[in-house]
A and B are shown apart, each in its own frame.
Chain A
Amino acid sequence: MKAERINQYYFHDVNTAPGKLGRRSFLKNLGGGIFVVFALGGYGCKPRKEGDIPEFNAYLRVREDGQIDCLSGKIEMGQGANTSIPQVLAEELEVAINQVNMIMGDTELSPHDDGTWGSMTTRFHDPIIRMAAAEAREVLILLASEEMKLPVSQLKALNGKIVDKNDEENSLTYAELTKGKKIIRSVTEKPVLKKPGEFKIIGKSQLRTDSLPKVTGKALYSADIHLPGQLYARILRPPAHGAKLVSSDTSAAIAMNGVRVIQDNDLIVVLHTSFEKAEEALKMINAKWEIPPSKADNETIFGYLVKNASESNILYHGGNMDAGKKEAAFLFENEYHDGYKAHATIETHTATALFEKGKLTMWASSQTPFGTRQEVAEKLGLAKENVHLKQIFLGGGFGGKIYNRQATEAARIAKLVEGTPIQLMWSRQEEFMYDMFRPAAVMKLHSGITKEGKINFWDFNIYCAGDRGTQLFYEVPNHKTTTWDKSDLHPFGTGAWRAPGNYSTTFARESQIDIMAHKIGMDPLEFRLQNMKEGRALNSLRLAADKFGWTKTKQPVGIGRGIAVGEDAGTLVTVIAEVEVDKTSGKVKVRRVVVGQDMGQVINPEGVIIQAEGCVNMGLGYTLTEDVVFNWGEVKSSNFSDYQIPLFSMIPEIIETSLADAMDQPPQGGGEPAIICMGAAVANAIFEACGARLFRMPFTPERILNALK
């Protein structure tokens, strides 16, 4: 899938499932068992014409030995899908979770999938998997009914068997029922699903299923593939984005023992059996570059964006803005800034590839294996079928690994050295250069309240942060939300970062709410409660406030608490942070964070808590320390020494998560919501602690000291 389409999905409408795509007929080549095919993103899975295999993008199989295979185009990057998917499957099929084998993201074995992003898996994948499992259960019951000569109504599934309800000893195992059969079914009608009250596995905490290989070093990531004769590839990179190669001299590199240098138009590659030798040779290349003039740097970028963003889009509009403004007792006009952030996954972009006999085989750290296949096939002029992306673990993704530049580079190199396997692992510096950064953004907010503290006017202009999660859950009679953007506005590639744009807009909105509350001396919780409609946002706020034990009491000197509410991926979330600020150094320590989440049905409560903790801990980075330093196309942040991601000493001692009891509601996303609130919650807490109001993330000691002046 093209980057634009991904961005379109990712920044905007993540509340609709992606369409089902393509039809695969590989079932023919598979062995026996009961197959249930299904489509992610839709309940129907109908054949195009009578008797045809229906369109599908996932399937499960009850194997002849009674084990269950689930083949899915999703990938595992730490989010825990390889635990939550088996959980829902095991629930409906009445098997143990360890009887389920997950096969993920292999383009030959798994059916097509758009990619793993946007908190889609739990919301759109799991419900379908449950239905498929329920369908398989019905097939097994039918088979048992024939063999046991008992009516279907007298049978049920229990612990990997179909049993006689009147005499549970009278039973047949799934293996016995499946032996020698090949049955293909699709989920065409909604099968009967278990009711929440009947759940044995869904809603119960489950340890990760992939910990053992990960704690023993056996889990394989893309750089861990070693093929005989494999060479490490290093690419000559420009000093800045947009730089043009004027001249290059590779003779010194070529003279080095064992080095192979290949050149294909703009691509200059050094290959060696040793990564470090290849690196050394790369440094021997004498290249001259022409760097385009700078238009902005990390300080001036905000003005540049506002000036140059042109295409505007009114998202929401209601009431009468002029009247609202006139009637307001107090008006507030503020501008909020957020700089570029890197994904900075500890695993850099990597691909190991072999091109042989017209076919490319590849292991790539990619959140979109099928998109990668498509792109690589197009670039190399191959048929899709001749590109095979294999299943592999990812060392983190967060939206950064959906663009696959390293995969197309590796494919190109592999084709140039046909027959020799190559590995392209980006160095940390390359990772900082070619990351598709989370875009810098500007938010202009003009709002007003009545004397009683009712918001009656809200004019929100968003530059470069998209519209994800911007629908107002406060009751405001006169409001307007406008987004501004333009393609190719940024000095380098930008893209989706865990809950795109939502961290920037939430920072602005929730800071503004706080500012308004403080202006009239109202408690920020009370202010929110009185301005919010009844609903899931309010639920999450109450959950968090209760758990936190919010009171109106004045806090000790240097201690402050801050609230932020947000919506992402169908989940309503409130974060309350407690911080300590040292007024002389400007240093902030976040001591405690409470997350309240209304996210519908919860499959794996512990998994949800882990994701919430991950959001809090990761979120502290963009809030307190992370900022990409650059001068236009020259990215100056090049390693963790000049781009500080969260450290053990930064994380809060206490993180608590409180979930709404909504087992009868559809499940919603859990991997992203809490992170959007971290900036605003901490900003508001800093204000309560020391009176410094911050309008730009991250909140460095210097900025805090400046705000105190």
Chain B
Amino acid sequence: MEEKTKFELNGKEVEVLVDKNQTLLWTLRTNFNLTGTKYGCGEGYCGSCTVLMDNEPVRSCGIAMTEVNGKKVFTIEGLEKDGQLHPVQKAFIAHDALQCGFCTPGMIMNAVGLLMKNPEPSRQEIIDGMEDNLCRCGAHTRIIRAIETASVEMKGGSQS
């Protein structure tokens, strides 16, 4: 059954008519052509589909559109502010915290969510917070470092 869903997407009010069981992942990818959010497993195990919903990192492959009604959704495409990269994005570049880059959008969105809740995480807290995001290229070492750097930079209060 198709249903109208209204929500805020990357800061803009949007409306979409899709089957109410369609997931947020495929709505983003197909209906909004926001392909930065990736399919990696479709069952909640890999985290490559992570987006922020009301500032919570969620796995968009497991969220039906009915749950998105009235929510604020942020994807990797909406992270830049006034043409400025988010500190987490900058730190990923500065640390070469990616190889193939396929897990990267999910990693970044999860890290942004993590830092919102805990602006100064310890190394262990970063590991715990990122634990369920998978990377096959083995970029973990640098992802941890990038999140540490972003946390320091964000302490200046430049961006949340």
Contacts and interface: CB of A to CB of B under 8 A. Distances in A.
Interface string A208-244: 1011111111111101101000000000000000000
Interface string A583-611: 00000000000000000000000100010
B33 interface: yes
A651 B136 contact: no
Which of B48, B79, B141, B144 has the most A CB atoms < 10 Å from its CB? B141
B89 interface: yes
A273 B30 contact: yes
B104 to A, nearest CB: 5
Contacts of A487: none
Given A427-B42, A655-B141, A226 B98 contact: no
Which of B85, B132, B137 has the most A CB atoms < 10 Å from its CB? B137
Interface in B128-160: 128, 130-144
Contacts of B113: none
Given A224-B35, A648-B127, A649-B127, 10 more contacts: A212-B93, A220-B35, A275-B26, A346-B135, A393-B101, A397-B100, A428-B40, A640-B45, A648-B126, A648-B140
A216 B77 contact: yes
A274 B46 contact: no
A210 B101 contact: yes
A217 B136 CA distance: 18
Interface string B32-50: 0111111111110110100
B41 A640 contact: yes
B99 A79 contact: yes
B134 A347 contact: no
Contacts of A649: 127-128, 131
A345 B139 CA distance: 13
A346 B140 CA distance: 14
A616 interface: yes
A639 B45 CA distance: 8
B99 A78 contact: yes
Interface of B: 18-19, 21-23, 26, 29-30, 33-43, 45-46, 48, 75-77, 79-80, 85, 89, 92-94, 96, 98-105, 108, 123, 126-128, 130-144
Given A274-B22, A647-B134, A651-B140, A226 B33 contact: yes
Given A78-B100, A216-B76, A639-B45, A645 B134 contact: yes
Contacts of B143: 648
A275 B79 contact: no
Interface of A: 77-80, 207-208, 210-221, 223-224, 226, 273-277, 343-348, 393-398, 425, 427-428, 606, 610, 613-619, 639-641, 645-649, 651, 653, 655
Which of A220, A345, A346 has the most B CB atoms < 10 Å from its CB? A346
A606 B36 CA distance: 27
Q: Which 4 A-B pairs have the closest CB atoms?
A: A217-B36, A395-B102, A617-B138, A78-B100
Contacts of B42: 427-428
A645 B79 CA distance: 29
A77 B140 contact: no
B108 A215 contact: yes
A79 to B, nearest CB: 7
Contacts of A220: 35
Nearest to A654: B141
A526 to B, nearest CB: 31
Contacts of A394: 100
Contact of A211 (B18, B48, B77, B93): B93
Given A207-B94, A223-B39, A396-B102, A276 B140 contact: no
A616 B139 CA distance: 10
Contacts of A273: 30
30 contacts: A79-B99, A210-B101, A211-B98, A211-B101, A215-B101, A215-B104, A217-B35, A217-B36, A217-B76, A274-B22, A274-B30, A276-B22, A276-B26, A345-B136, A346-B134, A346-B135, A347-B38, A396-B137, A610-B99, A613-B138, A613-B139, A614-B139, A616-B138, A640-B45, A640-B46, A641-B45, A645-B136, A648-B143, A648-B144, A653-B123
Contact of A344 (B23, B77, B136): B136
A618 B134 contact: no
Contact of B137 (A78, A277, A641): A78
A211 B92 contact: yes
A425 B26 CA distance: 13
Which of A215, A393, A395, A640 has the most B CB atoms < 10 Å from its CB? A215
Contacts of B94: 207
A207 B97 CA distance: 10
A394 B100 CA distance: 7
A345 B140 contact: no
B104 A276 contact: no
Contact of B142 (A344, A348, A613): A613
A274 B45 contact: no
Contacts of A224: 35
A219 B137 contact: no
Contacts of A219: 101
A224 B77 CA distance: 14
A475 to B, nearest CB: 34
Nearest to B34: A217
Contacts of A221: 35, 38, 102
Nearest to B107: A215
Nearest to B78: A217
A257 B15 CA distance: 22
Nearest to A212: B93
A212 B83 CA distance: 13
A392 to B, nearest CB: 12
Contacts of B134: 346, 640, 645, 647
A221 B41 CA distance: 16
A396 B135 CA distance: 10
Nearest to A76: B100
Contact of A345 (B21, B29, B92, B100): B100
A428 B139 contact: no
A76 to B, nearest CB: 8
Given A393-B100, A646-B140, A639 B35 contact: no
Nearest to A83: B96
B138 A614 contact: yes
A393 B83 CA distance: 24
A601 B142 CA distance: 24
A427 to B, nearest CB: 6
A226 B35 contact: yes
B48 to A, nearest CB: 6
Contacts of B36: 216-218
B11 to A, nearest CB: 15
